């Protein structure tokens, strides 16, 4: 079932005569819009990039593709008494996303991005998430005792666009040592070391950085020429 968030984002990109829900072979494309260079296929993917990896690889053989991958920076949780029922409380989610969350997805997408016909667009958004109770006592001890009814787009704060491996390098601190290891990267970004290791894995396999040796057990990296 299409969420309001997906539909609202689709409407934002379906301007200037663009077409929506366009059949293309065995696929259905969210938005198709054209310019002097020809048609661009736009896929809005709130879920995992891995889920559309094969589809995108096939489309890239003949088409320009833009993947819109929203990251939820702020979320307001709206709880109903039951599905479609009255609102019983609203609260701000303590979880906040940021652009570095993109690497959680890119780790499964390194054989697809970068590509000369592919653009990855990442809007940071605020949403409302409407919830209702799950399945009662049997689920009370489970971590998720609710069902998501819908997600609504409230605001778009910032949009990042990536076309090349070098574009991803702009997310890194400018004062990294040359060469650097993931400890330097973790400190510069203010994240855990394991997150920096995941980022380095993506950057290495996408060609942004390359290994140049070791310092103890830590791999050293330099930026690709």
At residue 34 the predicted structure's pLDDT band, cuts being 50, 70 and 90, is: confident
Domain that holds residue 106: 4-163
Q: Are strands 64-68 and 38-44 parallel, antiparallel or unpaired?
A: parallel
Q: Note whether 118 and 223 are same-domain residues.
A: no
Q: How far apart are CA 27 and CA 110, in angstroms?
A: 23
Count the domains in the chain: 2
- H-state helical runs in 25-158: 53-59, 102-106
Q: Is the dihedral of CA 82, 84, 87, 89 positive or negative?
A: positive
Condensed to tens digits (0 to 9), the pLDDT of residues 172-185 reads 998 999 999 999 99
Dist. CA 4–CA 138, nearest whole Å: 30
Predicted pLDDT at 186: 97
Same-domain pairing of 76 and 144: yes
Question: How do residues 92-144 score in pLDDT, each as one tens digit?
Answer: 999 999 999 999 999 999 999 999 999 999 999 999 999 999 865 554 555 66
Within this chain, do residues 177 and 209 fall inside the same structural domain, yes or no?
A: yes
Diameter of the chain by CA atoms?
60
Read off the pLDDT of each residue in 25-50 and give the average, rounded to a whole number: 90
Give the model's pLDDT for residue 175. Answer: 92
39, 146: one domain: yes
Residues 175 and 130 grouped into a single domain: no
User: Which pLDDT score is estimated for 37?
Assistant: 66
Specify whether 172 is located in the same domain as 157.
Answer: no
Alpha helices by DSSP H, listed for 47-106, are 53-59, 102-106
Pair (141, 177) in one structural domain:
no
pLDDT score recorded for residue 144:
65
Whether 26 and 126 map to the same domain: the answer is yes
Task: Give the pLDDT confidence score for residue 57 in this predicted structure.
Answer: 96
Asked if the model's pLDDT at residue 36 lies above 70, the reply is no
Same domain, 110 and 157: yes
| Residues 47, 140 within the same domain | yes
Rounded-to-integer distance, Cα 222 and Cα 99, Å = 22
Q: Residue 66 pLDDT more than 80?
A: yes
The last residue of one of the domains, among 140, 163, 186, is: 163
Kind of pairing between the strands at 118-133 and 64-68: parallel
Tokens 């997600």 correspond to 151
User: Over the stretch 146-159, which tens digit does the pLDDT of each residue have?
Assistant: 899 999 999 999 99
54-71 in b/e burial notation, b at 16+ Cβ within 10 A?
eebeebbeebbbbbbbbb
Question: Which of 163, 184, 216 lies at the terminal end of a domain, its last residue?
Answer: 163
- Name the domain boundary from 139, 163, 187: 163
User: What residues have CB less than 8 Å from 150, skipping those under 6 apart?
Assistant: 3, 4, 5, 129, 130
Indicate whether 145 pLDDT > 90: no
213 exposure class (CB count in 10 Å sphere: 0-12, 13-18, 19+): exposed
What pLDDT is stored for residue 181 in this prediction? Answer: 96
Same domain, 192 and 132: no
| Region 38-53 average pLDDT | 94
* Nearest-10 crossing angle of helices 193-206, 182-189: 110
Residues 159, 117 within the same domain: yes
């Amino acid at each position: 079932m299409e969420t309001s968030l997906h539909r609202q984002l689709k409407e934002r990109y379906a301007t200037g005569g663009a077409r929506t829900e366009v059949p293309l072979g065995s696929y259905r494309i969210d938005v198709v819009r054209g310019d002097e260079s020809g048609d661009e296929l736009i896929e809005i993917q709130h879920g995992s990039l891995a889920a559309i990896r094969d589809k995108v690889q096939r489309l890239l053989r003949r088409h320009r593709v833009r993947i819109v991958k929203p990251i939820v920076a702020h979320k307001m949780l709206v709880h109903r008494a039951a599905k479609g029922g009255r609102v019983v409380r609203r609260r701000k989610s303590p979880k906040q996303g940021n652009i570095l969350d993109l690497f959680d997805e890119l780790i499964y997408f390194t054989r697809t991005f970068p590509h000369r016909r592919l653009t990855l667009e990442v809007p940071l958004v605020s949403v409302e998430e409407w919830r209702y109770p799950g399945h009662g006592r049997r689920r009370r001890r489970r971590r998720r005792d609710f069902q998501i009814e819908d997600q609504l787009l409230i605001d778009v704060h910032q949009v990042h666009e990536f076309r090349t491996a070098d574009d991803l390098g702009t997310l890194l601190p400018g004062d990294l040592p040359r060469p650097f290891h993931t400890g330097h990267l973790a400190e510069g970004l203010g994240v855990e070391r394991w997150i920096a290791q995941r980022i380095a894995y993506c950057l290495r396999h996408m060609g942004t950085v390359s290994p140049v040796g070791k310092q103890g057990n830590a791999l050293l990296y330099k930026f690709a020429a």
